[in-house]
Amino acid sequence: MTTALITGATAGIGAAFARRLAAGGHNLVLVARDAERLQRQATELHDRHGIEAEVLRADLAEDQGIAAVEARLGERTHPVDLLVNNAGFGNKGRYLEVSMADELRMLKVHCEAVLRLTSAVTPGMRERGRGGVVNVASVAAFVPRGTYGASKAWVVQFTQGAARDLAGSGVRLMALCPGFVRTEFHERAGMGTESVPGWMWLDADKVVAAAMEDLTKGKSLSVPDPRYKALMGLTKLAPRSALGTISSRTGRRFGPK
């Protein structure tokens, strides 16, 4: 039986990963801040699928929290075979409207934690000759708009670079770039989503199903859903200066408020 560790496992995309992996018979290590919710989830997944679900309460915006997860990932007697770096959040407001403390908290969770946790688990995976890391980024990584997108661009660049460096070792790394997904994300950030057109919303379980398929195929970048694949194709054709203007205009009109 293999073991997967998922950060931000209690809600949205992370919870969808937990459901899918538990249904596939994988043991789980569930990471988030809300201990009660983690425990409830672990019990439910154990009872429904007969898998072992460990709970690890950690705040990935804190050094101590990152260190606790690093320690679990470095355990050689109970190795983790799949790491899903999924925990993340959005800050409401444009550049200079968000406090520096909140900007830095985002970089800690989206970038530092992803770097440190990936680096804690991959040496053991390389020794064993197998393992996988999914780093959840966003399609926002591909348009020059906002510090959220900038942090996710780092995730994509880091993941694809590391995937190349570890090619042939049996360790697969993949950046997952979904579009809008119905989760707690926007509500937690205090963003209204009324202006986002219905066709742009994705279902977390379908995003995860597509991601797992892409990981099996050995892709280092996954953009689930044909609608977003088409949009991403267009972003490759547009000059970067025009892309900034278009994404700002459409973001203001159709994006979360």
Ligand X SMILES: NC(=O)c1ccc[n+]([C@@H]2O[C@H](COP(=O)([O-])OP(=O)(O)OC[C@H]3O[C@@H](n4cnc5c(N)ncnc54)[C@H](OP(=O)(O)O)[C@@H]3O)[C@@H](O)[C@H]2O)c1
Task: Point out which residues bind ligand X (CB under 6 A).
Answer: 7-14, 32-34, 37, 58-61, 86-89, 109, 136, 138, 178, 180-181, 183-185, 188
Nearest approach in angstroms of CB 239 to ligand X is: 25
As a whole number of angstroms, the distance between CA 111 and CA 156 comes to 10
The answer to whether 82 and 1 have CB atoms below 8 angstroms apart is no
| Nearest CB to ligand X, comparing residues 50 and 198 | 198
Residue 57 CB, shortest distance to ligand X, in Å, is: 8
By three-state DSSP, how is residue 186 classified?
Answer: helix
Residue 232 to residue 20: CA distance in whole angstroms: 26
Nearer residue to ligand X within complex by CB, 86 or 222: 86
Please, which residue, 123 or 192, has the CB nearer to ligand X? 192
Distances (CA, A) of 61 to 32, 89, 92, 115, 158: 11, 11, 17, 13, 19
Q: Least Å distance between CB 139 and ligand X?
A: 7
Output Rg (C-alpha) for the chain, integer angstroms: 18
148 flagged as catalytic = yes
Question: CB–CB of 81/1 below 8 Å?
Answer: no
> How many CA atoms lie less than 13 Å away from 119 in the CB half-sphere?
9
Catalytic residue among 6, 120, 140, 148: 148
Max CA-CA distance within the chain?
Answer: 53
Strands lying side by side in the sheet with 82-85: 53-57, 27-32, 3-7, 82-85, 131-136, 171-176, 221-222
Least separation in angstroms between residue 8's CB and ligand X is: 3
Rounded CA gap, 200 and 220, in Å? 24
> Shortest Cβ distance from residue 60 to ligand X (Å)?
4
- Reading the block at residue 190, the tokens are 């205090």
- Whichever of 80 and 87 has its CB closer to ligand X, that residue is 87
Which of residues 131 and 149 has its CB atom nearest to ligand X in the complex?
149
Which residues participate in catalysis according to the annotation?
A: 148
